[in-house]
Amino acid sequence: MNIISQNTAFGGMQGVFSHESEACKCEMTFAVFVPPQAIKEPRPVLWYLSGLTCTHANVMEKGEYRRMAAELGLIIVCPDTSPRGNDVPDELTNWQMGKGAGFYLDATETPWAENYQMYTYITEELPALIARQFRADMGRQGILGHSMGGHGAMTIALKNPDRFKSCSAFAPIVQPSTADWSAPALEKYLGSDKAAWRRYDACALVEDGARFPEFLIDQGKADSFLENGLRPWLFEEAIKDTDIGLTLRTHERYDHSYYFISTFMDDHLKWHAERLEK
């Protein structure tokens, strides 16, 4: 692991690091905030997955999580959203595909399968690195994300309920297999057989029997992607006859930006901390 930067913030450390990824076959960059409490004892880990076009840096610079994370004693891990590098396949004119748009899945189709193994990276490789390099309590992990990252957080939690104790999302893509800005990407990454898409679709996973105790979702009503991309009511309908808990909060005038995310970030961190301390 290489250190790119380390800065003191709220008594803790905000770092940016890189490493050679076996899963993605390229150098990957990620950010970690370590709270001051980690000097004395291992602390819970909260994963934040970012949305389309983002890197590790967007939430680090705009998410305003450090003050509350330091107060609550949470380690915050912010991975990149895709593999990177000159040799990594991309669609330069399509922001919904390729670099910055890994959709947190393991691609099976050429040319994407060689590098786009983001599900394995997020659930196996990077956690192992975090466990080795930081004073992290890997028995207490939560996950949250925004937009494409909300999709990633929810699907990963549904498939790994024994690992994660909490999951929340800002404006998630809850049914990417039918959303305008994600279905084309799923077809390119996973092929035309839509049965394969269901493994990366929160609504489909619930329909197919996956379970997680509860979710917190915040959604802005002024979000321009609400009707065609996000549609949180579909997840509300999918869990109707299950024991999955859902707190779905909608907010007048809020859009899809980090102004929205930073406004409610403290709420999400407190929500996760309550569940990670149990």
Q: Considering only CA atoms, which of 147, 164, 185 is closest in space to residue 77?
A: 164
pLDDT greater than 90 at residue 256? yes
- Tell whether the model's pLDDT for residue 278 goes beyond 80: no
Is the pLDDT score of 220 beyond 80?
Answer: yes
Placement of tokens 């189709």 in the chain: 109
Annotated active-site residue in 146, 256, 268, 272: 256
Domains of the chain (ranges plus CATH)? 2-277 (3.40.50.1820)
pLDDT interval class at 49 (50, 70, 90): very high
How far apart are the C-alpha atoms of 238 and 196, rounded to whole Å? Answer: 19
- CA dihedral for 51, 55, 61, 64, sign (positive or negative): positive
Nearest to 142 by CA among 129, 121, 127: 127
Is 223 catalytic? The answer is yes
pLDDT of residue 271: 98
pLDDT at position 1, please? 94
What is the band of 65 on the pLDDT scale with cuts at 50, 70, 90? very high
- Per the annotation, the verdict on 256 as an active-site residue is yes
The span from the first CA to the last CA of the chain, in angstroms, equals 32
Q: Is residue 252 within 8 Å of 193, Cβ to Cβ? A: no
Which residues partner with 144 through β-bridges?
A: 48, 168
Is residue 58 within 8 A of residue 262, CB to CB? The reply is no
Mean pLDDT taken over the chain:
97
**pLDDT score for 222:** 98
pLDDT band at 44 (very low <50, low <70, confident <90, very high): very high
Alpha-carbon distance of 70 to 47, in angstroms, equals: 15
**Residue 7 vs residues 12, 31, 61: alpha-carbon distances, Å:** 8, 11, 13
d(CA 76, CA 258): 17
Helix (H, G, I), strand (E, B) or coil at 187: helix
Q: How far is CA 64 from CA 55, 259, 261, in A?
A: 16, 10, 9
pTM score: 0.97
Q: What is the pLDDT of residues 223-246, one digit of tens each?
A: 999 999 999 999 999 999 999 999
How large a percentage of the chain has pLDDT more than 90?
99
Separation CA 22–CA 9 (nearest Å): 31
Does residue 192 carry a catalytic annotation?
Answer: no
Q: What percent of the chain has pLDDT over 70?
A: 100
**207 CB-near residues (< 8 Å, 6+ apart):** 198, 238
User: What does the pLDDT read at residue 175?
Assistant: 98
Among residues 80, 90, 201, 223, the one annotated as catalytic is 223
**pLDDT digits 0-9 by tens, 85-136:** 999 999 999 999 999 999 999 999 999 999 999 999 999 999 999 999 999 9
Instruction: Give the mean pLDDT of 256-270.
Output: 98
Tens-digit pLDDT profile for residues 4-14? 999 999 999 99
User: How far is Cα 146 from Cα 133, in angstroms, rounded to an integer?
Assistant: 26
Read off the pLDDT of residues 153-164 as tens digits, 9 standing for 90 and up.
Answer: 999 999 999 999
**How does residue 61 score in pLDDT terms, banded at 50, 70 and 90?**
very high
CB 131 within 8 A of CB 83: no
- Kind plus residue range of the DSSP H or E element containing 190: helix 183-190
Report whether pLDDT(181) > 90.
Answer: no
Catalytic residue among 147, 166, 168, 182: 147
Half-sphere exposure of residue 63: CA atoms within 13 angstroms, side-chain side: 30
